[in-house]
Amino acid sequence: MMNRAYANDPLWISLVEQFREACVLRRNGRHDESEQILQTELPNKIAAWSKQPMPAGSDRRSALETMFQDEQRRVDEAFFVQKLVATQIEEQLLPKLCFMIAEEIRDVVRAEARAGRSPGENLSRRMTQSPARPRVQFDEPTLDTEPHLQAA
């Protein structure tokens, strides 16, 4: 959550985004990159931010601690939602898609069987055809529409 006192401060916004990035990297197992941000880049940014004038009634340490907690919670919640969505996709969507694709394949095989062709015959015929069939058919050129070359 963005601290309202610093909502328009580009340095604060950058600091929050950088800390969030470190949290995401850590959650993804990229500990070395996360540590690089936490040990090198973030302290420099915090130091620069700390030198700025403060809004009345705000405490830098409290603002940082709150931001650290809020961002860690945001990242944890995002990963939780990601896990829920992945589970839903895996358990519900993929089986439905597989079923729909299998049905379409069965329909094609049935249609080919009714037409007296084996699926392998149709496949080999399709593989030897030109992959790019024109979707537009042009009229045959006539003599009066063709450009004429004249000898100089």
Q: What is the pLDDT of residues 44-90, one digit of tens each?
A: 999 999 898 877 777 889 999 999 999 999 999 999 999 999 999 99
Cβ–Cβ under 8 Å, residues 5 and 55: yes
In a domain, 136, yes or no: no
Query: What total of structural domains would you count in the chain?
Result: 1
In a domain, 44, yes or no: yes
d(CA 10, CA 66): 18
In a domain, 53, yes or no: yes
Among candidate residues 112, 146, 17, 6, the one with its CA nearest the CA of residue 74: 17
Average per-residue pLDDT in the chain? Answer: 82
